[in-house]
Amino acid sequence: MMYRLVLVAIAWIFIGDAAYPQEDIPNLKDPKMIAAGHDLFLEKQCAHCHGEDGRGGVNLAHRDLDPKGVFQSIADGREKRGLRMPAWRGVMTDEEIWKATAYVMSISHQEK
């Protein structure tokens, strides 16, 4: 039993984070990247659910967000309490998803 648990843990370490490109994480605090992410946020109509500033019905501000988790949620979509966010992988490039991630990270924990 313990042997299997160790094998699963090792597999997760080497394979589990493959859902998003870890070695190529850009500088998410770059103002140009954040601005480009905001443009994508508006262009892809994310503001419809999240509000133009991220404080809409599905509020992105005032949360502890992990950049990798945000990337994965944007890329693969997400469902929570009956609300479904679509997957953007295949619609946006990884570079665009990182830009959107940079914008989301920039608005998390901001004051109203």
Summarised one tens digit per residue, pLDDT across range 29-46 is 999 999 999 999 999 999
Task: Kindly write down the DSSP assignment for every residue of 57-90, as one continuous string.
Answer: SS--SSS---HHHHHHHHHH-EEETTEEEPP-BT
Model confidence, pTM: 0.73
Mean pLDDT by 10 residues, the chain (112 residues): 44 46 79 96 91 77 81 91 89 96 85 46
Q: What gap in Å lies between CA 100 and CA 74, rounded to an integer?
A: 8
pLDDT of residue 22: 52
Ordered by where they begin, the domains of the chain are 28-107 (1.10.760.10)
